[in-house]
């Protein structure tokens, strides 16, 4: 059971989380016509009166883009302002996750996006590790990631997560921790809520934007950091068999951070994970505001301000 932050943003105001409820007839509940964001916040290890958010601007822009797919005009700066206020209202004291959500809030039937009321809410919950930082086992899913021609995959559209749910459950019920989905071309795509990276012969390889992946913010950050560390990065289609003989494979995402993969199906990966660890240490230092070079990736909210 989750511990939710006490205050939610709902119908243009801040209310107790328990009072932020919607009707069973809400349109988005039936048609998956919502879109969400997901970002982590932590109290600054050097100043608990300050909250640190990783790349807030990117998260708000992606949600604003997702809203456009739903024909809802929600500027990124408005989302940013509301999230900042949301944090000041809640004053979190431990690591947490923020879930902003746009959706068709009308009551009524018929799948559509035009001439229908939309709304935006934000809530949060305490969140430690989403996946074990020691590493996870993965199953190659029998469910494939959708194609961009049938769904706007550059947005985090709520209805799309049926595929993630099917894949995750299939993997967990078969004794694995996580699922790796192939795309409709049979190439490696991503996990249920994370992007994927492969290390082979010192090269860092990840499926490109043309592979029906979600444009992960952690993924983009890792690519920038790897290049700065002098690691060669290649974005290209990845075959399933490359995963099985890789030197290292890891997942990346806001919830998962950088999570190494220990085993894929019945193939155990090497225990040594030098590149994964190097990138993880760098990313952790940045999110905790300890890296002078990337202060502009960390947004601070003063709780006493």
Ligand X SMILES: Cc1ncc(COP(=O)(O)O)c(C=O)c1O
Residues that bind ligand X (CB under 6 A): 38, 156, 164, 190, 193-195, 214, 216-219, 252-254
Query: Widest CA span of the chain, in angstroms?
Result: 55
CB nearer to ligand X: pick between 27 and 40: 40
Question: Distance from CA of residue 202 to its chain's centroid?
Answer: 26
Question: Cα–Cα distance between 103 and 108 in angstroms, integer?
Answer: 13
CB nearer to ligand X: pick between 118 and 156: 156
Residue count of the chain, please give it: 305
What is the smallest separation between the CB atom of 221 and ligand X, expressed in angstroms?
Answer: 8
Q: Which residues pair with 205 in a beta bridge?
A: 198, 234
CB nearer to ligand X: pick between 7 and 191: 191
In order of 22, 93, 259, 265, the CA distances from 244 in angstroms are 45, 41, 17, 9
CB nearer to ligand X: pick between 59 and 262: 59
Q: Tell me which residue has tokens 């009707």.
A: 23
What is the smallest separation between the CB atom of 7 and ligand X, expressed in angstroms?
Answer: 23
CB nearer to ligand X: pick between 7 and 251: 251
What is the smallest separation between the CB atom of 121 and ligand X, expressed in angstroms?
Answer: 18
CB nearer to ligand X: pick between 43 and 193: 193
What is the smallest separation between the CB atom of 138 and ligand X, expressed in angstroms?
Answer: 14
* Backbone Cα Rg of the chain: 19
What is the smallest separation between the CB atom of 156 and ligand X, expressed in angstroms?
Answer: 6
Question: Cα–Cα distance between 233 and 200 in angstroms, integer?
Answer: 11
What is the DSSP-derived secondary structure letter of residue 247?
Answer: S
What is the smallest separation between the CB atom of 11 and ligand X, expressed in angstroms?
Answer: 25
What is the smallest separation between the CB atom of 19 and ligand X, expressed in angstroms?
Answer: 27
CB nearer to ligand X: pick between 48 and 215: 215
Nearest CA-CA partner of 171 in 191, 196, 145? 191
CB nearer to ligand X: pick between 105 and 218: 218
Token readout for 14 is 């801040």
Question: Cα–Cα distance between 267 and 245 in angstroms, integer?
Answer: 8
Backbone φ and ψ of 292, nearest 5°: -60, -30
Nearest CA-CA partner of 262 in 245, 254, 250? 250
What is the smallest separation between the CB atom of 94 and ligand X, expressed in angstroms?
Answer: 20
Q: Tell me which residue has tokens 């190659």.
A: 140
HSE value, Cβ hemisphere, 13 Å, CA-based, for 35: 26
């Amino acid at each position: 059971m989750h511990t939710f932050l006490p205050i939610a943003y709902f119908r243009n105001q801040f209310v107790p989380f328990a009072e932020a409820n919607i009707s069973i007839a809400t349109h988005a509940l039936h048609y998956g016509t919502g879109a969400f964001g997901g970002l982590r916040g932590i109290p600054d290890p050097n100043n608990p009166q300050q909250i640190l958010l990783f790349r807030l601007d990117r998260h708000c822009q992606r949600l604003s883009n997702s809203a456009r797919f739903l024909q809802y005009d929600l500027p990124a700066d408005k989302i940013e302002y509301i999230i900042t206020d949301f944090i000041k209202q809640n004053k979190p004291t431990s690591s947490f996750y923020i879930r902003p959500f746009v959706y068709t809030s009308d009551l009524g039937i018929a799948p559509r996006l035009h001439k229908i009321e939309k709304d935006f809410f934000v809530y949060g919950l305490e969140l430690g590790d989403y996946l074990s930082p020691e590493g996870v086992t993965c199953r190659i899913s029998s469910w494939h990631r959708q194609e961009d021609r049938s769904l706007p995959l550059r947005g985090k559209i709520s209805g799309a997560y049926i595929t993630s749910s099917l894949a995750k459950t299939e993997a967990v019920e078969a004794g694995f921790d996580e699922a790796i989905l192939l795309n409709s071309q049979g190439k490696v795509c991503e996990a249920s809520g994370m992007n994927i990276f492969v290390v082979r012969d010192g090269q860092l390889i990840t499926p490109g934007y043309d592979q029906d992946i979600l444009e992960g913010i952690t993924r983009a950050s890792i690519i920038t950091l790897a290049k700065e560390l002098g690691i060669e990065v290649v974005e290209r289609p990845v075959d399933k068999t490359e995963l099985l003989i890789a030197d290292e494979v890891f997942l990346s995402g806001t919830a998962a951070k950088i999570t190494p993969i220990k085993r894929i199906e019945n193939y155990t990966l090497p225990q040594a994970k030098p590149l994964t660890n190097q990138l993880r240490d760098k990313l952790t230092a940045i999110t905790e505001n300890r890296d002078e070079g990337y202060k502009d990736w960390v947004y601070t909210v003063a709780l006493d301000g």
